[in-house]
Structure 1
Amino acid sequence: MSVTQEGTVRVLAVLEAGRREEVVEVLEGDGLRVQPAGSTTEALSTLSERPFDAVICSLSSDDGDDLSLLREIRTFDEDIPVVVLTEDARVGEAFAAGASDCVPLVADGERYDRLPARLRSVVAWREEPGDRSRAAIDEELKQRAIDEAPVGITISDPDLPDNPMVYVNESYTEMTGYDRSEALGRNCRFLQGTGSDPETVAAMREAIAAEEPVSVELVNYRKDGSSFWNRVDIAPIHDETGEVSHFVGFQTDITARKRAEAAARRYATAASRESERLERLIDRTEVLLQDVTSVLVGAETREEIETGVCERLVEATPYAAAWIGDSTIASSVIVPRVRAGAKADAFSSLTIDADDPEAADPTARAASTRRVQIARGETAADLHPGSSGLAESFRAMAAIPIAHRETLYGVLNVYAEDADALDETEEAVLSLVGRAVGAAVSAFESRRVLLGSGIVELEIGIEDPSIGLLGLAAEADCRVGYEGSIYRDDGSVIAFVTVDPDGEGIEPAAAELADIHRIDRIAVHEGTGLYELRCPSGTLLTHVADAGGSIRRLEADGESLELVVEVADRPAARSLFTSLQGTYSAVELLGSRERERLPSTRAGFLDSLTERLTERQETALRTAYLAGFFEWPHAVSGDELAATMDVSRSTFHQHLRAAQRKLVGAVLDPEFESAPN
């Protein structure tokens, strides 16, 4: 009985015990009928007793006589399909011994998944459906296969003059753009043109003349004149007498591959050049950074850092001069601060306006873009347009921002008398120098701040009515004073302000201002009201805090707001002032002064205490103190303070007691700083 008659494939599985159970389970799970056998003798006996559609066995590389079973089965039955499982590369030996199919074992979990389909296939191919399939490959099907093949196929007749093409398929016409009527009767060389390599064409011609196969790659041209790369494989076709009757050609458009190869060659060339550039860059960087690092490590002041770097650059490189400068707090004019080089005196009176991000001056662009700027000119005046007195021999310069994170500390400028001395490699090196110097200056300034050796105080006037505190003073016709603030985790601020004179119009006026989300009156004393404001992020208070400033005084009347802020250093002061100018209108620097920070432990005490207070605890403590809750009799009740915080009275007192305990602990407990929260 055949598989087509019963619909079920009957399989004899001759497998070792460790594999037999799993294979049988897979085959029967797919609907096959399986009879297991454990030895050659049992297998041959079973085959003689009943009919099977196929046999499955294994081929193990550990058994020296692993082909004996396969040979015995073939001796017994020459026609029955035998599928062999193998884990090695001995497929050829298995087929030579009579295997119908070999199934390599794959990873666990899919080891036998393909067996049912393979068994059904070998059985079906052995019987009538397979015979009909083979018979169906007639001349008509072969012709359709050639006509519709995905590669260009041509046939030429060498018995006709000039060996013209007598057949082209559809892919050929699509690839070349020529119709069959335009291509037939012509030699295939009509696709060649000026870009076709003569040596390749000659090799193809010689092979055809010698009646030998040939494969070439050359440029051909379509009907519309566009070029493409064509892989041409030509082979002679012999007739029954052995004579060459025709030539068949296979033509494949390989333009994409050729373009990819050309791109790869370009990339390889570029990579080689880049490698050479990087080697020069590494050597150059190593020497220069060693010199600069020695300066940065040994310097004790910022001036020593900047002077030493300028001197090393002039000594160890082809630079003729170098200087470092920065702008004042309220002005964008950059002026040289330290100089080095025999021709550096020319920069003593140089001033550069860095206010315009698209300025022609490279130093101004470096300050605004925070990127190295390189300039070249036929004269020195071309390097700094509008400036005079520079050494006439300068032909190139680089302006390098000295910055660390968000802070610009100045601009380093170097000059060369050779215009080619400054290229992309030099730009990369100088960028590293700028970052190294910026980091060193930042570390020096941070150390100076930590040691409390200096501080910059700014007095700033602002007349922008969009600021909530200024708008409140104008709308309510009062003076607003700043009493402190608490910065919340979500970026908003709880601010405490005094309003003089207090009145019923304060809260309605505040409700109209975008910078104030909520206002609560805490207490009134002698006509002056104490209020708690809830302000969103992005207001003046958070703007100052984000820039590293500390508000010492803030007062607003109906026309202007005066702000006194302390910052760590000049760059921070300039950054804050510039930021305020970019955010608000009518911002004016009323005064600034640098001074030594007075020795005091109060700031450290407050910082350590604030770190231990939660936001709610600090709010409760500050609100209670400012409202007079600690006075006797109480100026305000706990219920009233709880209402301002939107909490219950018990919760308010819980926060207040926790804050008081931490405050008393900070005063009385010497282990406070190391104690847990």
Structure 2
Amino acid sequence: MNGDSGTGLIVLVTDSRGGECRTVEDLRGRTEYRVRRISVDALGSVLDERCPDGIVLALDDPETVREQGELINGRTIDVPVVVAPSAGGEALAIAALRIRAAEYVRSTADRRVDRIVEAIEADSHADRVRDDEFRRILATELPDEAFVIGEDGTYLEARVRPESEDLYEMDAADLVGMELEGVFPNDTAETLQDCIDTAIRTDEIQSVEYDAQTNDDWLRFEARVVPIDGWIDGQRAVVWLAREITERVKRELELRARQAELETLNRINAIVRQVIETLVDAPSRNAIERDVCRQLVDSELYCGSWIAEWTGDGQLRYRTGAGEATAYLEYVRERTPDGNRPFRRAARTGEIQTENYGVERESVPEPLRDAVREDDVRGVVAVPITHEGTDFGVLTVLASRDDAFSESERAGFRLLGETIGFTIMAVKNRQLLFADTVVELEFRIDGGDTFSFDLSREYDCTCSLEWAGTTANGRAFQFVTIDGLDGETVITEAADHDSVEECRLVHDGTTGCTIEIRLCESGVRTLTNHGVTIRDVTVEDDVGTCLIEVPQNANVREVADALSAVYENTELAARREVDREVQTAAERRNRILDELTDRQLTTLRLAYYGGFFDWPRESTGEEVAEAMDVSPPTMHQHLRKGLKTILGEFFEAGAGTVD
């Protein structure tokens, strides 16, 4: 020992792994006690020699503090212990509470040495532990709320952060003497008492989360329950350390919700991709629709799925479906005039529609609310099935998930609806393209309110469809030739007709004209929506004749009903099976070559091999004309006639088709 004067002894324990502690010099210079500095390994031997007047644990490791405290308490000696770390922290404060330290003083604390000496010199250690030292330790390092609670659930000490005091209806001091049952609801109080019992029984720190009522709201707290060595007021006790974690819990819930949504979305996208992949080899429209509904329900993400289409008279025609949401489907079938439901809005607007019955339940009719409750339907999405302006109905899908049909999920269904429409159209075209035998249908239409019928009645002219189709952006066009009426009159009449959206004069001759026209409603558009091949449409003397081709397995009544929805007086005049002529590619090529003149064929070859059709051009029109030894206008005349002959072979042979 260094030569310390004085009769009393303070043992200062330091960790041999740490450096020289400043506390030694401070104590030696400001107290009459002898200060003996030892390592943690030497404390037992010192206590065997004599009982010091006080022990200072200048340690920064909570577990080491706990071990030294247990060593001291195990000697059954009444000696004040001060925990005086250099850094401090909550874990060290908890350790000080557990060993019932007389004081906890960090190196940065005011009056550090005085507080150490005062704690050592204080009389009646057992009585003092009940009050001042717990209050000081609780106020030093511990979190938002700190309490000393006896094993019977009685508050012995309480402290709340000053900035949080206004949240509560009573002061922290008023809690002292109250029991858990008087502060929390019975179920919460029971849970907290169980946590206290476990901490005391196992002598291990416990954790628990609970809600507490404040003046404004319920807050979420996380508590660590630390058993205290020894007895207080004749009973075991714990230190209850609580942090307010409401915002953290909200963030965690939001994160879990986003993770769950992402996982669900990944599953949804996987299902959509799987459905799309199976559509490629589907043999028919019925098979496409049946497989889509079945796979959506089999994924267990959805409780019901069906496809329906709206007829011309505003009725819902059910095609196929899957799932057990029968009450909801029955409501839909019986109450199709309800125009505010998602499936009808989707059919009317062509846009995907959703409805959340968890949020919007009070706004739905009572019968629908009953159906929703019976089938446990939380959300519905209605997806238009379209392709390039052609409508094939609406896919309706039901889900029992509260978070169903987010924007990301709707994007997947939007793609699915477009893919189904594309596939249905592809199947119809494929059936027509590869069929050796097709069914030719001839319809007679007596009168109508469309532009062609009005022209025929007013001017005794004949209107013939040249071609009808849809552009890439979904705009539908028709090219119509009118015999017996000049172009100026046609354009004037079109400007005043309600059914005409746009009309442009393409060719104006002495006895007739050709126009490009877009109509609000027409039988041609209705037929193209059903994937037929239009061979001829003519209106003369207020009577229309429509000649179309459909596959052998086509639903003829469905096509007839669709046309009747536009033209009331429509009848099927003839039905014929037509065998298509089988023609090889070589035969078709030879026929095209036979129809070209020598000059046209030469011009086409010189232009083709000379790079006239490349971009940018490798040869100009003047250079091609010079090679032919003709003037440029003559060259362009041969070129245009040759191209028209070749294109006519492809287009005229299927006049009026929408391919």
Which TM-score applies when normalising by structure 1?
A: 0.38
Name which structure has the greater RCO, CA cutoff 8 Å, separation 6+.
2
